[in-house]
Structure 1
């Protein structure tokens, strides 16, 4: 794999990460509500979720879906229901006030990591990208060293993007604004995630 091909793949990966979706919604919400540390933890979980899709693609994900198309459909339905569940939780808790500081983390590090992993595992954008575009962009003679470089590149890009969102939206200014609009914002986030979930489950 040439340096130019790796750079092209990195650019595509960055654009995919930056495109709006449930991961970005959850990152912004976590940064504004829980603060920078939980949001950064979520960022790592999101990156791990994407990394698992990449590993699956390298191991022949597209071939598995070709042989068992029902598996891809089942994963989409499960992913959609997962996002709908998150959406309902956000809606129910929309009116709950924020703590005055971000020092009280309502969830454990492990639970936030799991949320990040499952959110991107449930993301059909990641499923479609890694099952088709990603595998098609890789050379047939990819070595295991090159595969590790590609995986490391994906992890750095994904973590870096969501970490940037975390740092941006956990600042005092964005948090102060979020306190004022929390109920409406939480319900908007809930509706967005719910719509993502319905679209995924029915696609």
Structure 2
């Protein structure tokens, strides 16, 4: 019999949903992707973001935070590398803000499933968030089936959120607004992601 109850899962979904709504590099990046390339290209990117984010839940379930506790330098190293990766992404966005709109069929744009996953894997702090949430909601001892259920729930919530965001931001009205102000929107998105990356490093 499962040690996880429906009420616990519902609380987990509610807590995760509120956390996802806080602005972060994933939200900024999938919005910019949907503006520039439309729903068909933004969805795979969003799904990559969802898999990357939920991977930290899996890592927490498998005990990654125990490694961070035993060897604090590993968390520091991952945080620095993640922050530098976000800064690199921001620099690319800033540099190409003045470029014409890309061809949606161009596979070399870099906004694909893998790129989305890497972006959300660049910040290890969600591992600590997931660990705190898991410990506060679920029993200390979980079977493999329970862990699989929790991870599937996290993945479903992340997938639903990023899919909805990609579809919403690709609406014709919003895309037309983006076309009219592409340069400044891209520069603002690059600045926001760059600041998030720097904050990872400077807050250590």
TM-score normalised by L of structure 1: 0.92
CA distance in 1, matches of 2:29, 2:134: 25
Name segments (4+ residues, structure 1) moved above 2 Å. 102-109, 130-138
1:120 to 2:95 alignment: no
Post-superposition Cα deviations, 1:119-163, rounded to whole Å, max 9, x if no partner, equal 111124413312433344331232222211111111111011111
Q: Which residue is 1:17 aligned to?
A: 20
Q: Is the 8 A contact 1:47 1:158 kept in 2?
A: yes
1:63 to 2:98 alignment: no
CA distance in 1, matches of 2:98, 2:182: 7
Would the alpha carbon gap of residues 175 and 105 (structure 1) be closer, same or farther in structure 2, given more than 3 Å must change? farther
Q: Is the 8 A contact 1:27 1:165 kept in 2?
A: yes
Q: Is the 8 A contact 1:34 1:105 kept in 2?
A: no
Q: Which residue is 1:3 aligned to?
A: 6
CA distance in 1, matches of 2:75, 2:136: 18
TM-score normalised by L of structure 2: 0.91
State which of 70, 73, 76 in structure 2 corresponds to 1:73. 76
1:50 to 2:53 alignment: yes
Q: Which residue is 1:104 aligned to?
A: 105
CA distance in 2, matches of 1:85, 1:75: 15
Instruction: Give the RMSD, CA atoms, in angstroms.
Output: 1.7
Q: Which residue is 1:35 aligned to?
A: 38
- Greater shift, 39-48 or 118-127, is seen at 118-127
Shift of 1:48: 1.1
1:151 to 2:154 alignment: no
CA distance in 2, matches of 1:195, 1:163: 25
Q: What is the count of residue pairs matched by the alignment?
A: 200
Q: Is the 8 A contact 1:62 1:132 kept in 2?
A: no
Matches within 5 A, 1:123-134: 123-134=123-134
Would the alpha carbon gap of residues 55 and 162 (structure 1) be closer, same or farther in structure 2, given more than 3 Å must change? same
CA distance in 1, matches of 2:119, 2:104: 24
1:87 to 2:90 alignment: yes
CA distance in 1, matches of 2:58, 2:46: 18
Q: Is the 8 A contact 1:31 1:38 kept in 2?
A: yes
Post-superposition Cα deviations, 1:51-70, rounded to whole Å, max 9, x if no partner, equal 22111111111211111000
User: Which ranges in structure 1 are unaligned for 5 or more consecutive residues?
Assistant: none
